[in-house]
Structures are given as structure tokens and as C-alpha cells.
A and B are shown apart, each in its own frame.
Chain A
Amino acid sequence: DAKTTQPNSMESNEEEPVHLPCNHSTISGTDYIHWYRQLPSQGPEYVIHGLTSNVNNRMASLAIAEDRKSSTLILHRATLRDAAVYYCIPDSFQKLVFGTGTRLLVSP
């Protein structure tokens, strides 16, 4: 399984953009990058995924480096509800391998 590195925690103010980085230098050429988050006392929740090009959905944007060794999850306007642990997870067929993720703190 590809190894990932994420900062332990990040802080943001409400309504400001947040950029959550992830290094995945050992990812293979065909592995997607998935981002999930876990709100307090809840199960993990899908955020976004991508392979090579940048991706957007209603929750976030995902910017993938050209060499695919890193990616950045972008929350365009953080809300209090976005306070969660965010995980970047490379493909690992049949399962998600969670690391320790980045705990995002959002202040009003």
C-alpha cells in the first residue's frame, strides 16, 4: 500500500479557504487518490477522488501535482461543519487504508 504523509492538524477561520496537503510519493501510476473525512462521532464520509487532473465537486476541489506525488484538498469556504479529520487515501483494491489524517479546526 502506498504511504501518505499529512500534517497532524491545521486551523482555519470560518469562510476562509483551506488547503489540506498530502504527500503520496510511492503511489503507482494507476492509483486514484481518495479523500474522506470523519466528523466528530461519525463514520468516515467521502469527499472527492481523482487520478491525474484536478477535480471539483460540490464539497471541495482536488488539485493533483503533475508528478502525482502529492495532492491538495481545497475547501473554498470553510464552515464550522467542516471541522473534521481529513484523510487522503491512495487506491488499495478492496479496502481503504486510513492513516492518521489531518485534524481541521475551524474558528468562527
Chain B
Amino acid sequence: EPEVTQTPSHQVTQMGQEVILRCVPISNHLYFYWYRQILGQKVEFLVSFYNNEISEKSEIFDDQFSVERPDGSNFTLKIRSTKLEDSAMYFCASSTVAGTDTQYFGPGTRLTVL
């Protein structure tokens, strides 16, 4: 069964450093998402991406964040200058269409900012 994959599974970085989290969505999906979950808290929407542009973003997704689909398979989330409060699990998801369609989530990347 097709699945969303994410790398790395765990990333440790120093505050102020840039990190890139990578995701490979399911191949025939057209919509891509990033969510995050701070330890012990809710899963929070960050951004959705369609047709090579952001279609919706949350208040969390400020200028420090960016997303890109650099080729036909990868979908990346970049955090330019990490803060301690960016420490969280980051989940990538994809779906064939938006709205009512099922979103398939990856296993997540645990980001630890020291």
C-alpha cells in the first residue's frame, strides 16, 4: 500500500540554525500539507500546498517557514532560524484532492532544538 515517507526521523539542531524536513508524498496525490505537534499538545495545521503554491497557511507559518516541491516527488519544509519553541513532531500529509478527501500522514520527524 502506498505511504507517505519522511526523513529524517529525528533531527537535532542548535537554535538559530536552518533545518529542512523532507517528505515524499503518495505519488498520485496533488495536495500536500505540513502539521506539527508539540509534545503533549494538539496536532496543528501549518500549511497546505497545491499546484506549486501555498493554498492556505496558519498563523504559526510565519516568515521563518517555507515549503517547496523541488522535484516531482519531494515536499520540503524549511525553518530558516530555529527557535527552542520549534521543537515538535512535524507530520507531512498528502491527499488526492482537498476538502473531504482523506489525508494520509507520514510517520513524522521529531525536531529537537537545543
Residues on A close to B: CB < 8 A? Answer: 32, 34, 38, 42-46, 49, 87, 91, 93-100
- Chain B residues positioned under 8 Å from A34 (CB to CB): 100, 102
List residues of chain A with CB within 8 A of the CB of B42.
98-100
Q: How many residues of B contact A (CB 8 A)?
A: 24
- Among A38, A44, A49, A98, which residue has its beta carbon within 8 angstroms of that of B100? A49
Q: A94-B56, A95-B56 are in contact. Are A46 and B43 (CB under 8 A)?
A: no
User: Are A44 and B98 neighbours in the complex by a CB distance under 8 Å?
Assistant: no
Q: Give A87 to B33 CA distance when docked, in angstroms.
A: 18
Instruction: Return the contact of A43 from the options B56, B98, B108 (Cβ within 8 A).
Output: B108
CB pair A46 B55 closer than 8 Å? no
Q: Which one, A32, A44, A91, A94, contacts B105 given CB within 8 A?
A: A44
The minimal Cβ–Cβ distance linking A74 to chain B, given in whole angstroms, is: 19
Q: Which residues of A contact B58 (CB under 8 A)?
A: 95
Task: Indicate if the CB atoms of A95 and B100 lie closer than 8 Å.
Answer: no
Q: Is the interface of B mostly helix, strand, loop or mixed?
A: strand
Indicate if the CB atoms of A94 and B43 lie closer than 8 Å.
no
Q: B106 interface residue, CB < 8 Å from A?
A: yes
B99 x A91 contact (CB < 8 A): yes
Contact residues in A for B4 (Cβ distance below 8 Å)? 43
B18 to chain A, nearest CB (A): 24
Whether B104 pairs with A46 at a CB distance below 8 angstroms is: yes
CA gap between A94 and B105 in the complex, in Å: 15
State which of A42, A46, A49, A98 has its C-beta within 8 Å of the C-beta of B107. A42
| Bound form: Cα–Cα A87–B104 in Å | 15
> From B104, which residue of chain A is reached at the shortest CB distance?
A46
Instruction: Mark each residue of chain B from 38 to 73: 1 if its CB lies under 8 Å from any CB of chain A, else 0.
Output: 000011110010000001101000000000000000
Residues of A within 8 A of B74 (CB): none
* With A46-B103, A93-B98 already in contact, 13 other A-B pairs whose C-beta atoms are closer than 8 Å: A42-B108, A43-B105, A43-B106, A43-B107, A44-B43, A44-B103, A94-B31, A94-B48, A94-B99, A95-B58, A97-B45, A98-B35, A100-B42
